[in-house]
Chains A and B, each alone.
Chain A
Amino acid sequence: VERIPKLAAERLKAISVPPGDHPGPEMLAAFAEKALTERERSQVIQHLAVCTECRQVVVLAQPELLPATAPGWRKSVWLASAALRWGTAVAFVVIVGAVVMLREPRTAEFSTRSAVTEPRSVNEPASAPGTTTAPGSPEPSKPSSEDSSNGSVAKLIAPGQRPSSLKKDSSAGTIVLRKDTLAAGSRSAAPALPSPVQEKSGEPIGTEVSESVAVNGVPEPQPAQTKVDSFESRSAADGAVGAIAGGRAKPPLAARSSAQAASSSAGPQAMSNALVASKKADQSALFNAAAFPLPRFTIASDGALVRSLDSGKTWQRLPVGGDNVFRAVSANSFDLWVGGAAGALYHSSDGGQTFSRVIPSFGGMKLTADIASVEFVDSHRGKVVTTAGEVWSTSDAGQTWEKQ
């Protein structure tokens, strides 16, 4: 039934002031039995419209419709929405079910893949623990030109709103470390995996190990690690095969091929690592395919601002203006602030196509110190901190500034 505004219900109650004299029981009884004349009936109903007590009397005095029926007050208003709430519960179950069903085939696919690659590692007993370091060590320190920015990332900013991508990238700072550990030896084969796996990976290697890694990898999707591991798998593959050319249109495929390449040459550990990575790359593709990628920005090691338009796969340097060494960047979608040495502060509101220099000033002072961090919470409010400890804040997109 249609609802009435709450105010209407409240006013209905407020203006219902029953007159002093109530109709007698004989009138109410006669009303209930339709024994009143039209005139009398309208008088009674006029009273009933404003008198809660007489309405109660009439309702209570009603003969039972069914033996079990008590006078009919609705249990409560929220019960009326019971159907809705049950519907929500059912919908939830259906959604969860659907998600589980959708994920199931992926796991199956993966396990068949691991089954396929397993014999290879069995056929190659020569790749003992010691040998894994050999192909792994020389290459990761020499990333391909494309991925170079990844390797030298000091801080990666993700302007995307999705927390998953943010998480992925926030861990990107550990990439270098990962590569080092990968290069350092066989123990680092699966650094992201829990300790039992690591312990096992130290043992003499066989099919068993690769299986255990694969199995451990399956029930433990770590979205935060996805990006890192896909990088890892690539660098491992780079190391094993030599170089896999750039322009990988489909990361999962590339990761898969790299996994196989790794398994063929780098031995079971690299293979199992790559398998885990390929599995995670699948997930990463799942995440990325869902959303239109927003540009990402970071500062390269030489202080240049770089941008990726494909969720971090490729990076381009952006000419900002002047010969600046940047240290910090803050981006909200297409609104971008970048700061660096000697008070260089630039703002772009078109995702880095054009920049304008901003020189914050407050009380006759200008910001000239080296900028250590730039942080904007939205397109208007933000602050810049210098290496000298000055804090400059704005709440009007850089029109006016305050210095603390």
Chain B
Amino acid sequence: MLIASAVFGGMSDSAQPAFASLPGIESLIGELYRLSGGEKFGLTQPQFLVIVHDIGRKYLHGSAGNSEVRAFYLSLRVEELALARACAAGSEHAWETFLIRYREKLYDMALHIAREDSAARDLADSLYADLYGTSTREGQRISKLASYTGRGSLEGWLRTVLAQEYVNRYRRRKRLVSLDEEIEEGSQFAATDPVTETVVDPRLESSTDEALTALPAEDRFILTSYYLDELTLATIAQTLGVHESTISRKLDKLAKSLRKQILAGMARRGMSRRQAQEALETDIRDLKIDIRKRLSQDSDRRTFPEEKAKARATDGSS
């Protein structure tokens, strides 16, 4: 309890947000405290109140109305919130409960993410350390669980924290590897290809950028997920909570309208319909090839008379 009061001690009544004084909110939080079962982990109602107000201040804007605030508080996973915060505060009982509930799961989640046993163990262990709180601030142990806010399940939060850690590690490793590779290959000194840079029509590029930035965020998310991240339709659908076929239809529609928008953009930039279509259909890489082909053709044509003449001369002499 000592630790708990230390962790929650920074909050004073004066820090309470304006909506804390809205009618009925106090009793609502009292009700939520009972539901949370925080009492059995040694979490008091005032402590719980401070936590909840703190969360409210973080996510609710100052002018939020009564119903909005109520809906927000009611949406919190108070039971898991109480457990997490009690763990962060160092409650033995809370930790026992947490480990019973999540020890197995945590490893499975890590395996699901890392897809390899030793990496999964490594990932899960590092999360345990974070959850228990190895980092210290002013001599205090700070548990990562203290940042759980009850928005969404604790399990989902744990998975996300694991995934984030995994992505960070992967990125760090990739940076190191790619740096090593660059040094080995000397590619950090490589000159840029002058052909590529001069090839794309600036009007095409700006039209494309314009069309892409004009897209609603969700459409752009779908486009990037599918065309850049190469995610499956099922995964995109799961992320957005819609059916797979919805994503498939949407992608078709998006690709078509994107093409149309780019063409329209080029028309606004003074290109004829035909020019615009040609510019759009011609791929950058194709253009590069075309240029090479054209160059070689030109040289062919130039060498044609001499080469043939030589061949003829040798034929005649033999």
Contacts and interface: CB of A to CB of B under 8 A. Distances in A.
Interface in B257-304: 258-259, 262, 280-281, 283-285, 304
Interface in B193-233: 200, 204-205, 208-209, 211-213, 217-218, 220-221, 223-233
B217 A35 contact: no
B309 interface: yes
Contacts of B164: 25, 28, 57, 61
A53 B171 contact: yes
B161 interface: yes
Contacts of B157: 25-26, 29
A52 interface: yes
Contacts of A34: 241
B269 to A, nearest CB: 15
B156 A391 contact: no
A29 B280 CA distance: 39
Interface string B149-171: 10111001101111110110001
Given A48-B221, A391-B312, A61 B230 contact: no
Interface in B136-191: 147-149, 151-153, 156-157, 159-164, 166-167, 171
A56 B248 CA distance: 20
Given A46-B217, A49-B221, A381-B304, A8 B262 contact: yes
B156 A32 contact: yes
Interface stretch (A10-18, A128-136, A302-310): A10-18
A225 to B, nearest CB: 27
B239 interface: yes
Given A45-B218, A60-B113, A4 B153 contact: no
A57 B167 contact: yes
B205 A59 contact: no
Given A57-B163, A65-B238, A73-B231, A6 B284 contact: yes
A76 B231 CA distance: 10
Interface size class of B (residues with CB under 8 A): 35 or more
Contacts of A58: 160, 163, 239
Contacts of B308: 383, 393
A62 B231 CA distance: 13
A32 B212 contact: no
A4 B166 CA distance: 31
B166 A8 contact: no
Nearest to A372: B316
A138 interface: no
B10 interface: no
B151 A30 contact: yes
Interface string A34-66: 111100101001101110110111111111110
Given A55-B224, A55-B225, A58-B239, A4 B163 contact: no
Interface of B: 59, 72, 75, 112-113, 115, 147-149, 151-153, 156-157, 159-164, 166-167, 171, 200, 204-205, 208-209, 211-213, 217-218, 220-221, 223-235, 238-239, 241, 248, 251-252, 254-256, 258-259, 262, 280-281, 283-285, 304-305, 308-309, 312-313, 316
Given A7-B205, A35-B75, A62-B235, 20 more contacts: A2-B251, A4-B223, A4-B259, A5-B283, A11-B208, A25-B147, A26-B151, A32-B152, A32-B160, A37-B72, A45-B221, A58-B163, A62-B239, A64-B112, A72-B231, A72-B232, A72-B238, A73-B232, A73-B235, A383-B312
Interface of A: 1-13, 15-16, 24-37, 40, 42, 45-46, 48-50, 52-53, 55-65, 70-74, 76-77, 381, 383, 385, 389, 391, 393, 395, 402, 404
16 contacts: A1-B251, A4-B259, A9-B228, A11-B209, A12-B212, A15-B209, A26-B147, A28-B164, A29-B159, A30-B151, A53-B167, A56-B167, A60-B162, A64-B112, A393-B308, A404-B309
